[in-house]
Structure 1
Amino acid sequence: MKITKYGISEAEIRRAKANAGCDVCPRCGENKSDVDYVIESMESGKDTPRMFNKGILHLGYYTKYKGVFRTTIYHVDQYKCLSCDTEWESEPYEPYD
């Protein structure tokens, strides 16, 4: 038997380990994303202006390079809590196999 495709790649496993705990704000404990609040507001039928100022926003990532001759690329994901204006980062991880 020959396996042709795995369900999840090693790079996705490394990213999940690096981002463990990043879905909760370290300052106020917020654990919903900004999209959760928008969906919740749309389902309730109430148009509240505060719904866009709550939740956790994933800002993206930046790249770090380590090494001189054998350069290793690392990504660091960035997060921001819209409720208390706190920003934090994940641990660096290798994005490619």
Structure 2
Amino acid sequence: MKGAGGYSLRPLNLSEEDRRTLSSYARAVHAAGPNLTVVRTATGAAQRIALFLDRMGWKEVLATLSGDDTIFIATRNRSEQRALVGRLRREAGLSGSRNEGNA
């Protein structure tokens, strides 16, 4: 859609299929410094999840960069990072015990 700052993707609603994608393929969510979140995924799933995150329009997500099984997510500050880490863990069904020592 076109806005004051140019064109952007319309935010999507989180569907059951999206929830299944996150819960099926996300393996861990880690905070790395105050502005970087790392998501480990099943092999080959990182790009699919990163595209989903880009299209969701979550305010915490500034940018994503994905490889084969890892996604780097940039946030503006530690507060947004904490919110994102919690949100991703909830949506993916990850418990804190699988991500000990992280935000």
Normalising by the residue count of structure 1, what TM-score does the alignment of the two structures yield? 0.24
Greater helix proportion: 2
